[in-house]
Chains A and B, each alone.
Chain A
Amino acid sequence: MSECILEGRGLTRRYRRPDGRTLTACRRVGLQLFPGETLGVVGESGCGKSTLVRMLAQLERPDEGELLFQGETITGLRGEALRRHRPHVQMIFQDSAAAFFPRMRVWDAVTEPLRSFHPLSRAQRREQAARLLERVELPVDFLDRYPHSMSGGQRQRLGIARALALEPEVLLCDEATSALDVSTQAQLVELLVSLQKKQNLSILFVCHDLALVQSLSHRITVMYLGTVVESLPSARLAADAVHPYTQGLLEAVFSLHTPPGKAIAPLSGEAPSPTHRPLGCPFHTRCPRRMERCSAEEPPTTVVAPGHTVACHLY
């Protein structure tokens, strides 16, 4: 197994609300991303996925923890050094409309990243833009259009094209498909997979749709209330998931193949507020199998099987 290309250790991020309370978005999150593989991150709204992505993209600095790229610590990078590091890790956003400046044309937007690193003439940039569009299977005559005149799916491809401009090693997708309809989602996922094969791209795919994540990822990390509760190869998800939360998620998934009479078993209760994290295991308030320990002690991350970790007192 090659060494991981992007690694996060103990990443913690807190926000101070204007009324004085602290919101913990991420707590001691660790993950590893390997070259050429896709890591899926799932969880409910408010579980800290987006914050995690931002930290990985270095749009925000973790309050605690480290970030490593190809084994080197990059958490301390600032200013120009940080900027110079950017080409390695790129990002795609959920709302493709908001991700593009309304007044920039496609060719300009897609090659904008290049401006800050390789000064090119206008003609050269248009050439580059055309090439990038090709790679994401967008027609070349889109060059002079405005992003808002495109459909959501096309725009998301555009986002990918822009992200690819700097030839990154890592691509972070923050709910990139959530705003698209199902068929478009499938097309986008196909594109991502093919790109990954072609250039050995590492993809971090954040999503709340378990089924979609499973179809795309090599490994899956499950988050709850800012912590990682389970991490395992995606092929083994249905079979091997042990954390009560993951099991609850699996039970709650609707599938076309679910027999009609099957009972729906939603998880009871609601996720607590991230400003009032319960002591001990964050899930214990809703866990059907909680014990005494769970409300007092935080469960450590243990390895249950090769490539499979869990944070639960049951194991």
Chain B
Amino acid sequence: MNRAQKRFLIFSLLTLAIVLVAVLAPLIATHNPREAVLANAVQPPGSEHWFGTDRMGRDLFSRVIYGARASILSTLILVAGILAVGGALGIVAGFAGGPVEAVIMRIADMMVSFPGMALAIALAGLMGGSLTSAILAIMAVSWTKYARLARSLVLKVKHQDYVLAARVSGVREWDILLRYMLPSALPTLVITAATDVGGMMLELAGFSFLGLGAQSTSIEWGYMLNEGRAYMESAPWLMVFPGLAIFLTVSVFNLLGDSLRDLLDPREDDGLPGAKRMKRGKQMKGIKKMSLRTAALLLTAALAAGLLSGCGSQSAGSGAGPSGGTAASHLNFGCYSYSDSLDPVVTVNSSWAAMRYGITECLFRFDRQVAAQPWLCDDYEASDDYTTWTLHIRDGVQFSNGTPVTPSAVQAAFERLYAETDTARGGAGNSNPEIYLPEPSFSADDEAGVLTVICQKPTSNLPGILAYPYFGVIDVTVIDRQVVGTGPYQVDSMRPGVGVEMSRNPYYWNGPAPYDTVSIVFIKDSSTKAMALQSGDVDLVENITTASDLQKLEADPAYYISTAAGVRVGSSYMNFNGPLGSEALRQAILMALDNDTMCEVTVAGMYTAGFSVLPSALAYNYDQLTNPYPYDVERAKAVLDAAGIVDTDGDGIRELDGENLNLVYLAYTSRNLNDFAEAISLQLQEIGIGVTLTVSDYDTITALQNAGAFDLVTANTTTVGTGDPQDFLGCWYSGNSQSYGYYSSPEYDACYEALEVATDPDERLALITRMQQILIDDAAVIVHGYYNSRMFSRVDAVTGAEIATIDYYWLTSDIAPAA
């Protein structure tokens, strides 16, 4: 046996070993890979769990072992598919020639230039993200390489004499293809495929990493890498072991492919004179020259690139760097960019951005309890029927360009808002103020400093509505050039995707803005935000969502973290038109869930636990509410037993009305909702309630939700966009609750109808409080918690960095340099 054969044998055995690990997973794994013990989450490797545990408390070693199955199988299927499809098409194209070849090759050209990622996402949308959709997407884009290869191989041999001889002998064309073309092309194709297995595995892992491939319901290495990323610093084993598994497997396959090629195509290792006999001395000279040339090349390239980038960059304001200590105070604020524009009429996101960056302000502003307080409007009055409002505009307010803010200016801003967002009037903006306030009519009395607003119907919450970022007051006379507002800072320049350079508004009405200049730096990634804060490249950062970074910063006194349990509630609607119509079942479910651990550990503190649909931080009497179904697993089981929902056939799942309980749970990947859904599924399974969890994208889930095809469905909703929860509470009004679970309660309906017409604040508060309690008592919905907003700052650089309850405000005039 020669060397090549020996190598092939070794690597084949290694490959076999890995495949065996996958096949024999149940024998090798130490634990059930799906068994979750939340309390054990994120444990380091030890004697009990060799690789540690993941964030659901599952044994990582077993998951890695089982993961081999999905990863290897899917990769092999992928490569086999590409080989078959590409090879077949290429051989046919090469042999047939003419129009057939042209068509196939054009299609190949098309697919090659089609962005694979787009296809993957589209397929994920069409059929739900899964390994299958990822495989199909990669296959659709990658077969072309094999087709080209097969075609070129066929072209080489199709004019050989033996083909002519066969034809003369009367062999059918089809037989020529199968007996001559195919065997000529196949070895090279197979070798190529073998060497591609490694790369394909990485591709699949990459897709799972981005969330386009395997979902949380399957055990796969790429997805595990994705999950572990948030814990990179605090629990590195979560990334290390799956990553290592991928690396080892890919390496072995690559080595196998190489050795196969050496075996069948022994050109490299046959020690031909060509390579070996290059004499040392001459080699050295050649290599030295080459190194010099390479270095020169690199240097030139670097210089060129530097020059190129130099002339490409805009002259920005004062650059990044730690602030403080210099005469001119400067703030570097790192945040996620939701919009490339700052004009309120363009999109919802641009209106929020302008407000968050401290550029625009409204007539009213929400306080910590999300009640609208006077701001640019300092006094107001409403008619009895709440249709006519008289708003007095604060005296002495100016735009950042010095133009006074008169009632006419405010009127102009509002009228522009409606005009620019109305396509009937030729407006191109996507913002939609109509959904909050149907277009009112305005009249301004600049002498008296009063703006009158006449609403189309009684609007008792006008202050709250006017506090919404759409209604940021801007100077319409200059809007075609720049966005000018009344906030503490004004825009000097904006570079989409990069950041915004701002400077102090010299005319700010509410005291001097603390910083001379501010650089807003757009950072897309949570971990990067954390790193930027720690390295000093930014002094202030909003909303870091990765668990390990959060924990690290919380533990470090050099950073101040302001947390607000915000206005968003994470919840899962229950569909009363199904098994969840059973009250006992619903109660048991609520009692089986350890909300505190889920909020603190599973989602690493991104939520504050709570039991009412309205967040605890709001002024809706959360502290007066009672929770009859606190976390108590035993009691949950007892309730189920008492209701006769028991497991009679010993399969571990309880039955309701003779059928195994299997709740259809829909979740989408946003703000940790899928994490909750996963954890809940596991906990429910612990008490014998079967759950089928589907995690998909927002639109798919919403479509299913609207069709009523669910038992449980996640949601993360802003409860008080304009400071009033009435719209949100309408989800449970029987008139429109079909998308939210067909809940129906006569008392609730009565309260809601009363709320619709009530205008007295105290009356409203009482109704809202009562409605909350009704929902709680009826166990109508699973409340996961309230999404936390946070602001992070370096203690030595910044003070006053508090986050508001409602996330319209980030950069406020309270944020100032540290003393």
> Which residues does A use to contact B, with CB under 8 Å?
54, 57-59, 83-84, 86-87, 89-91, 93-95, 98-101, 103, 112-113, 115-117, 159, 162, 165-166
Contact = CB atoms under 8 A, between A and B. Distances in A.
A87 B167 CA distance: 11
Nearest to A57: B168
B527 to A, nearest CB: 56
Nearest to B157: A101
Contacts of A90: 168-169
B165 A162 contact: yes
A115 B164 CA distance: 16
Contact of A99 (B161, B171, B179, B180): B161
Interface residues of B, number: 16
B127 interface: no
B279 interface: no
B161 A116 contact: no
Interface in B153-175: 160-162, 164-172, 175
Contact of B169 (A54, A95, A116): A116
A159 B166 CA distance: 11
A113 B170 contact: yes
B155 to A, nearest CB: 15
A59 B164 CA distance: 7
B183 interface: yes
B168 A91 contact: yes
A112 B166 contact: yes
Contacts of A83: 170, 172
A86 B162 contact: no
Contacts of B183: 103
Nearest to A111: B169
Contacts of B161: 93-95, 98-99
Nearest to B164: A59
Contacts of A103: 183
Contacts of B160: 98
Contacts of B172: 83, 116
Contacts of A57: 168
Given A112-B169, A116-B171, A116-B175, 12 more contacts: A59-B164, A83-B172, A87-B170, A90-B168, A91-B164, A93-B165, A95-B161, A98-B161, A101-B179, A101-B180, A113-B169, A115-B175
Interface in B169-190: 169-172, 175, 179-180, 183
27 contacts: A54-B164, A58-B168, A59-B164, A59-B168, A83-B172, A84-B170, A86-B168, A86-B169, A89-B168, A90-B168, A90-B169, A93-B161, A93-B164, A94-B161, A95-B161, A98-B161, A99-B161, A99-B162, A99-B165, A100-B165, A112-B166, A113-B171, A115-B171, A115-B175, A116-B170, A117-B170, A162-B165
A89 B170 CA distance: 10
B185 to A, nearest CB: 13
Contacts of B171: 112-113, 115-116
Nearest to A85: B170
A135 B642 CA distance: 96
B168 A100 contact: no
Given A101-B180, A103-B183, A116-B175, A162 B164 contact: no
A91 to B, nearest CB: 5
A299 B160 CA distance: 37
**Which of B164, B165, B167 counts the most chain A CB atoms within 10 A?**
B165
Contact of A86 (B170, B175, B179, B180): B170
Nearest to A98: B161
B148 to A, nearest CB: 21
B167 to A, nearest CB: 6
**Which of A89, A99, A117, A165 counts the most chain B CB atoms within 10 A?**
A99
B663 to A, nearest CB: 60
Contacts of A89: 168
Nearest to A60: B164
A98 B158 CA distance: 12
B91 to A, nearest CB: 16
Interface in B254-271: none
A91 B235 CA distance: 75
A86 B167 CA distance: 9
Nearest to A165: B169
